[in-house]
Structure 1
Amino acid sequence: MRTLLCLICSITLSLPVWAIEPTRLYGAQSHYQVERKGKVIGDYHLNFSPWGQGGTHVSVAMDLNIRFMGLFSYDFEYRSDEYWRDSQTLEQMLVRIDDDGDLTRYAFERRDGYLYRMEPGGSTRLGSDLLTTNHWHPELVRRTNLVNTLTGDVSQINAQLEAEEWVELGNRRVQARRYRLGGDLEDTLSWYDTQGRWLGMEFSARDGSRVRVWLKPDQMTASLGEPYE
């Protein structure tokens, strides 16, 4: 009996956390609200759709608009398209950033088991088993290296569980785990519910203010409801 229990435990522990399809957590889409200094400044959207033979296309969009004392405004537009052969293998990614008129593009592609950042006239090998800083993947907090989609480089992290707590989503309370990502993303906090779904994050803007990205309350019905009271 002890041998059987040990075998069962071994098999259970070896299973990936992300052993289900993304839509089991998020539905076809998940919408977030972006806040700064208590004011709404934009939206963050995740969209999931089939790709290839059993793969997944994850589309990420963030649009921000910050007005400064009615004198001028700052606009930020972010687009990312991730193409996953399965939940663990990122095959391609395209990123477009419009930072108030300053355009940046990144392209990533898997070749011979490694993910490369494609560049004019060449490419840079980044790693073999990388997730991205788009946060939706629940195994992010178990990794030490991520593709930073804002810089195009690899960021090192050392995620630590800071608290298990209840968070407010509208008039509902959700049991969540709060992680500090550490390393190159030391000031970034990220929350996941008990099913592994990403609830939101908080980080520092260039001026030192805190920006908060948080799941909209009406999105709770899009996926598993067991964590909610």
Structure 2
Amino acid sequence: MSRWLRFLSVHSALCSLLIALPVNAVEPLKLYGTESVYRVERKGDPIGEYRLRFRPKPDGSFAVEASMQLELKVLGLFRYAFSYRAEELWQEANRLKAMTVFIDDDGDTREWRVERREDGLYRLEGDKQALRLGDQLLTTNHWHPGMPHQTSVLNTLTGDVSRLDVQSLGEEMIQVGERKLTALGYRLGGDLEDTLTWYDSTGRWLGMEFTARDGSRIRVQLQAANELAERGAL
């Protein structure tokens, strides 16, 4: 088999694994363990950390805690800090039950929550009228392997629903610790046009890249962890 045909065969197999993965079959603890840590970089320099924690519930539901802490100095003159915390509660892998979000954007704070009612998911914020968002929505915390196959998602930074027009970018190698992983890349498109995201063949999220308000590119990348290596995931 030629090298080109071998490449096409491997690429097709990886795509099939992700596309065929049943949403209800997603088991976060098997993908990530109880915690997954990501390094955040700007122009190649570390500026913070993104962290996911997974907690199973006795009734079969599970919680996902996402947090991000960023801090940087611009031209050495002033400091910018960003803090983000979110907790998602899932009845099952494709049914979000509730969510809370707190954002501190360099002193400008915002807090809102989502709750499931009979006719779908609603955003509640302060004394504003509850806003219906939809029903079966994944979130932009990115951990769910079904993310690249959505046409709309709950944007956890804005509290709105973002439209997607996902394009596959094919394979590339992603460095995780001392190892390289074969990853499938996607451009989310639509309202998140400049956001790129990567997953491995099991559906594990490896990281993303997007443009900051100052035009610089921000890279979020999975860091090696003992629990992943012990499971043979790397």
What 5-or-longer segments of structure 2 have no aligned partner? 1-18
Query: Where do residues 108-147 of structure 1 align in structure 2 (5 Å cutoff)?
Result: 108-119=114-125, 120=127, 122-147=129-154
* Number of the residue aligned with 1:3: none
User: What SS is found at the alignment partner of 1:44?
Assistant: strand
Other structure's SS at 2:157 match: coil
Q: CA deviation at 1:223?
A: 7.3
More strand by share: 1
Indicate whether 1:27 and 2:27 are aligned: no
Please give the alpha-carbon distance, in whole angstroms, between the structure 2 residues aligned to 1:72 and 1:169.
32
Number of matched pairs: 215
Which residue is 1:38 aligned to? 44
Which of 151, 171, 178 is the equivalent residue of 1:171?
178
1:47 maps to 2:53: yes
Check if 1:89 corresponds to 2:92: no
Q: Shift in Å at residue 160 of structure 1?
A: 1.3
Amino acid at match of 2:205: W
- Give 1:190's aligned residue: 197
Q: TM-score, normalised by structure 2?
A: 0.87
Whether the 8 Å CA contact 2:33–2:228 is kept in 1: the answer is: no
Please tell me whether the aligned partners of residues 131 and 137 of structure 1 are also in contact (alpha carbons under 8 angstroms).
yes
Identity of aligned residues (%): 52
The one-letter amino acid paired with 2:85 is R
Q: Which runs of 4+ in 1 moved over 3 A?
A: none
Normalising by structure 1, report the TM-score.
Answer: 0.89
| Aligned mate of 1:152, from 159, 167, 175 | 159
Where do 5+ consecutive residues of structure 1 fail to align? Answer: 1-12
Distance in 1 separating the partners of 2:41 and 2:20:
38
